[in-house]
Structure 1
Amino acid sequence: MNSSIKRSLLISVPALFMSLLSVAQTAIPDSMTYVYKLYGQTRKYTVSFSEKNDTLYLDWGIMRNMKWQSGRYVMSPEARTGATLLSYLQPVDGNTAALPEEELFGIVSRSVYKSLKNDGKCRFDSRTFRLADTRRHAGSFRLLHAVSADDDTEMWILDNEDLPVIWSMQNNPCGVNWQISSSLPVSEAQISVVTDETIRKELGENPMRAGGIYFAYPYGSMDYPIGIPAMGTPAPEGYTPVYISHYGRHGSRYMMNESDYIKVLEPLENAASASGLTPLGNEILRKLNILWSEAEGSAGELTELGAGQHRGIAQRMYNNFTSIFTSGKRVEAKASTVLRCVMSMNAFCGQLQKTAPSLSIDAKSGNRLMSYISYTSPELRAFSAEDMPWQADARRFEQTTLRPERVMSSVFSRADVRPEDEISYYKALFRVILSIQDTDLGLSLPSVFTPDEYFSLWKALNYRMYVINAACPLNEGKGPASASSLLNRIIDDADSALSGGEVCASLRFGHDTALIRLLALMRIEGCARVETADSRYHLAWQDYRVSPMAANLQMIFYRNSEGHVLVRFLHNENETHIATSAPVYNGVYYDWDVLSKELKSRIK
């Protein structure tokens, strides 16, 4: 900042701090107002910042009792660098308050900002804050949404290292909250608040979503499509697509183990032999025997529906980005050694080859690929063990959440023929019935569970996937960190393809856990939310959104005539956002040079 010229925050930020960012950033206005909520009262302060020799001055003013009152806060260079406390010193007319080195007023220090940006968490004002998202913007400037792990406090911080202003503070237990008001429109990429009502509505519209990771891909298959993904945002002028980087979960499969089916069928068969099933119980037994006759000997394998899902995704990829798949270009495809992943790759690549016969496709699988295609660190394996303390908490959550009595009595006509562990059976029955959607059998058992039961069972199954693999604080980053080798490979492959020009697409086929971890590590929208209370895990993260069968992340790279590269993200073929400080164009096109360096910094 030019020390000889006093400037307001809203002039100095774009003129000096943002000089290296995209010219597409919105110009910032000349004035701003802090709208304070002080212990139930509203106060509006006009505020400006200025600097001299790295000392920061905050000048404030307010009209009170028909008189203009004003004052100043002074923040030292040391405070700007490393302070960890927020000053609550009330403004006094005519007073210049020199704050101690450990305190700041209205901003966070550079060290706090960097910790939040680079590590996804920071320690500030005697609390631990975690980066929840960057959905909200002030004009084109991102606001870092920081949520306290210790109470309900939330902050939105201007994404700028030199002057990380706290744009909004809410739910502060000290009773001091504020929101900056200016001519910059505050917007959000999409609605960020998920409620019980939101989820209940979605499960009501399609109860199959309650299957979570068994939810069949929402756009159907090649032969039986279900709708189409939303239209994307046009690329900035002069940019054309040149390369695609992809990671896809295998398509719909049978349940992982034959014991999953047998655990449900045996009690039903035993009860039937003792005339202990209700009419609904007999219907369930009949239809699950049809399912078992197809699944027996094929546990864990890809279904025909699963193969069709990948053919459909491949065809839409080609239709949307035909100019990428030109003659002479090469597609590199890699798959996990697990058969369902190899079959998914074959279905995907087969459809591409059928559509573009001149395309060169190099498809491989092998043990040496598993170090990144599907890697679980020893630390995460240990954390996932059944004897870990959090597992006992998960079981307690199920005991207090699940109510199997109604279903048990609707299936079994007598108490003496019911399974001994009713909650365990209730969950197993739910999983097997919801897995029917991953076949082409056309069976249906919609009347077994009520809307409340769909909701509670889904919450219980969603719990463990979130704790182990996503951004749940309990795993201390072990889940996302297991995707580090995958993210590193994605970045290196992209840089190599962009510099070489021969490879037009890198396709990878793996598993739900690997994709969930990757999305959390990258901080893809809706996939990296932090929640400490297990009663709210389901509000932070929903498995049916993040990783249904055949779930995928596509990174579409664009380049202009000057060689500048942008990247756009598609999660399950829908445009999405990523938490980053990289310049953004048209709302969803990110500067790859800046973003790739930031993503590298997230690799553990």
Structure 2
Amino acid sequence: MSFIKHSFFIQFLIVAILLLIFSPLSLATMMTSGSKTAYHYVKQPTAVPAGYQAFYIDHIGRHGSRYISKAKYEDIAYKILVLAEKNNQLTEKGKLLLTQITTIKELNKDHYGELSDLGRKDISLISQRMLNNNPTVFKGQKIAVISSTSPRAKETAEIFINTFKTKYPNLNVHQQPEDQQTLLRFFEYSPAYAKYKKNKIIKNTLKSLENAPKSIEMSENIARLIFTSNFIHQLNNGISLSENSIVKTQNFVLAVYQLYQELLSFSPPLLADNHLDFSGYFTKDQLLWFSTVVTAKNYLQIGPAFDSNGIQIKIAAPLLLDMLKTADSAIANNNIDANLRFAHAETVSPLATLMEIEGTNIVANPVSDYPSVWQADKIIPMAANIQWIFYKSEQADQPILVKVMLNEREVHLPLKTNDYPYYQWDELKKFYKNKLNNWGLTDQGVVLKWLNKIK
């Protein structure tokens, strides 16, 4: 065997072994994990137009991978399994599942909602790439930072800016006051949006997916791997865990699937060390369907839903306006390297749709077809981010250019350009300002009032 062939064979063998060892993070898993997907970076170099160099970045990012935020699904799965165990109605696979969920409970104990080690690592790597890939942007003069009041968003901000502080110890970090949460948690300041989230159409749509014949049939098939037939009969009729909690077979299976998604917040070595692997309980078709059921809530509440200009998207207008204003200020004054913002999926997703980034704003009909036009794992994975990178020419008469990246991938915008992925700033700004003007938002000083009134 020649050296080249031998080398190729060894590389192929290594990749195959890694996929077997780390099956919870295989490509199939990446496709079925929705907004719980761990961040995945793919290098995408595009030559900068001749005579141009980057000089400023406007950024909004989601916190990194986290521990499960609430014990709800963990409790449902655990309590049902314990009940079955007490009555000697668990299969061998059921006993293994109970052991795994007991381990998960121990791992999550005292850490609910916190960043995981994988999340911390991903955030650090994103900031390092931002610094290394844009050497002409970061001159150590000043960066402005604001984060959501959430502890995991605050920690994400700290990790991110530490990269810059390490290189520039005297860097001027301007920490914007937390009272500007209308820019990042706008979803909490709009009465119309609060009403929208609770409307019957959304509730009924989600229920119809959870209780669809496909959900019920798949849930029963999975339950047969875990319980005896007698217990499945009880579960089909509903088991009461409390006064307000009746759990049926599909509720239990969806809870287990939610935990399956949450496992992606942990690193492959941690999963392997703790023998955590739910892949034996789901087929690929089942994973795809349950992902559709679970992620529908994101699509409807923070995605294009039934109207890509609906209230769930309009509320991101204050953040878009702020990005336009801060960019204009940076261009005019040349005194800041970057504006960095850290928040949540509920912040990033509406902004991406509002900007009409390709793949974020198409309405699906019927709703169950949404994965074909809107994929949460590509738009709002853990550590999701939108970066506007600005470029200026050595020649004063040339236009400012901007490249928009979603999760460090170059994206198409609804504008014409001869230099994709670079767009002329004046044209991009005009397009978005016209959109905001049509909704009556022109002044940052009236954002709270605007959010209170917008429908």
Which residue pairs with 1:52 in the alignment?
A: none
Q: For residues 251 and 176 of structure 2, what CA distance do their matches in structure 1 show?
A: 40
What residue in structure 2 maps to residue 103 of structure 1?
none
In the other structure, the counterpart of 1:31 is: none
Superposed CA offset, 1:197-243 (max 9, x none): xxxxxx98331431211111123xxxxxxxxx233221111111000
Q: 1:365 to 1:460 in 2, by over 3 A?
A: farther
User: After superposition, where does 1:485-524 map in structure 2 within 5 Å?
Assistant: 485-524=318-357
Q: Is 1:383 matched with 2:196? A: yes
Structure 2 residue aligned with 1:446, among 269, 279, 283?
A: 279
When Rg is computed on C-alpha atoms for both structures, the one with the higher figure is: 1
Offset at 1:364?
4.5
The answer to which structure has the higher strand fraction is 1
Find 1:217's aligned residue among 26, 32, 39: 39
Q: Which residue identity is paired with 1:217?
A: Y
Which string of whole-angstrom CA distances, capped at 9 and with x for unpartnered residues, describes residues 384-417 of structure 1? Answer: 11x5133213312332231201111111124326
Q: What RMSD, in angstroms, separates the aligned Cα atoms of the two structures? A: 1.9
The whole-number CA distance in structure 2 between the counterparts of 1:435 and 1:273 is: 27
CA contact (8 A) 1:277 1:413 kept: yes
Q: How does 1:84-233 map to 2 (within 5 A)?
A: 205-219=27-41, 229-233=42-46
Matched, 1:411 2:226: yes
- Alpha carbons of 1:479 and 1:290: their partners in 2 closer, same or farther (altered >3 Å)? same
Instruction: Indicate whether 1:255 and 2:68 are aligned.
Output: yes
Cα separation, 2, equivalents of 1:383 and 1:546: 22
Secondary structure, aligned partner of 2:348: helix
Letter paired with 1:250: H
Structure 2 CA distance for aligned equivalents of residues 480 and 469 of structure 1: 7
Q: In structure 2, what residue type is equivalent to 1:271?
A: A
1:331·1:504 contact (CA, 8 Å) conserved in 2?
Answer: yes
Q: Does 1:354 align with 2:176?
A: no
Partner of 2:99: 286
> Residue 334 of structure 1 aligns to a residue in which SS?
strand
Identify the match of residue 425 of structure 1 among 252, 269, 276: 252
Letter in 2 for 1:269: V
Structure 2 equivalent of residue 398 of structure 1:
210
Give the distance between the partners of 1:549 and 1:373, measured in 2 at CA. Answer: 16
Choose 237-246 or 528-537, whichever is displaced more.
528-537
Matched to 1:354, the amino acid is T
Distance 1:235 1:506 in 2: 22
Q: When the two structures are superposed, what TM-score results if normalisation uses the length of structure 1?
A: 0.62
Which whole-Å CA distance do the structure 2 matches of 1:276 and 1:365 have between them? 56
Other structure's SS at 2:415 match? coil
Instruction: Give 1:358 shift.
Output: 4.3
Contact preservation (8 Å) 1:558, 1:566:
yes
Question: Is structure 2 residue 387 aligned with structure 1 residue 554?
Answer: yes
Which residue of 2 is the match for residue 374 of structure 1?
185
Structure 1 match to 2:264: 437
User: Deviation at 1:439?
Assistant: 1.9
What residue in structure 2 maps to residue 339 of structure 1?
Answer: 151
Number of the residue aligned with 1:246: 59
Counterpart Cα distance in 2 of 1:461 and 1:231: 31
Q: Determine helix, strand or coil for the equivalent of 2:102.
A: helix
Please state how far the C-alpha of 1:511 moved relative to its aligned partner.
0.5
Task: Name the SS for the 2:328 alignment partner.
Answer: helix
The 3 A distance-change label for structure 1 pair 330 and 524 is: same
The answer to whether structure 1 residue 570 and structure 2 residue 405 are counterparts is: yes
Q: Does 1:275 align with 2:110?
A: no
**Using a 3 Å threshold, how does the CA distance of structure 1 residues 415 and 499 change in structure 2: closer, same or farther?**
farther
Aligned mates of 1:296, 1:600 — CA distance in 2: 47
Distance 1:389 1:576 in 2: 32
SS in 2 for 1:536: helix
Counting matched residue pairs gives 388
Change (3 A) 1:413 1:396: same
Indicate conservation of the 8 Å contact 2:145/2:339, yes or no.
Answer: yes
Mapped partners of 1:205, 1:216: distance in 2 = 12
Distance 1:382 1:459 in 2: 24
- SS of the equivalent of 1:579 reads coil
- Partner SS for 1:206: helix
Does the 8 A contact of 2:292 with 2:368 survive in 1? no
Aligned counterparts of 1:350 and 1:444: Cα–Cα separation in 2: 34
Q: Distance in 2 between matches of 1:267 and 1:318?
A: 49
2: CA distance between counterparts of 1:310 and 1:464?
26
- Corresponding residue of 2:111: 298
CA distance in 2, matches of 1:591, 1:485: 22
SS in 1 for 2:43: coil
Amino acid at match of 2:95: N
Higher mean C-alpha displacement, 371-380 vs 237-246: 371-380
Structure 1 position 543, deviation (Å): 0.8
- Contact kept, 8 Å, 2:308 with 2:361, in 1: the verdict is no
> C-alpha separation between the residues in 2 aligned to 1:571 and 1:475?
18
Deviation at 1:474, TM superposition (A): 4.9
Does the 8 Å contact 2:309/2:354 carry over to 1?
no
Gaps of 5+ in 2: 1-24, 239-247, 440-455
Equivalent position SS for 1:283: helix
Residues 383 and 475 of structure 1 are in contact (CA less than 8 Å); yes or no, is this contact kept in structure 2? no
1:338 alignment partner AA = S
Stretch moving more, 357-366 or 373-382 = 357-366
Q: Higher helix proportion, which one?
A: 2
In structure 1, C-alpha distance between the alignment counterparts of 2:420 and 2:34, rounded to whole Å: 30
Indicate how the Cα distance of structure 1 residues 262 and 480 shifts in structure 2: closer, same or farther if over 3 A, else same.
Answer: same
Kindly indicate whether the alpha-carbon contact (under 8 Å) linking 2:145 and 2:174 is maintained by their aligned counterparts in 1: yes
Of structures 1 and 2, the one scoring higher in RCO (CA 8 A, sep 6+) is: 2
Deviations 1:297-338 (A, max 9, x none): 2222211211111001001111100221113x1111110000
Distance (whole Å) between structure 1 residues aligned to residue 277 and residue 425 of structure 2: 46
Deviation readout 1:84-140 (Å, 9 max, x if unpaired): xxxxxxxxxxxxxxxxxxxxxxxxxxxxxxxxxxxxxxxxxxxxxxxxxxxxxxxxx
Contact 1:251–1:549 (CA under 8 A) maintained in structure 2: yes
For the structure 1 residues 262 and 397, does the alpha-carbon distance in structure 2 shift closer, same or farther, using more than 3 Å as the test?
A: closer
Please give the alpha-carbon distance, in whole angstroms, between the structure 2 residues aligned to 1:444 and 1:234.
42
Contact 1:326 1:359 in 2 (8 A): no
For residue 277 of structure 1, report the CA deviation from its aligned partner.
1.4
1:545 corresponds to 2:378: yes
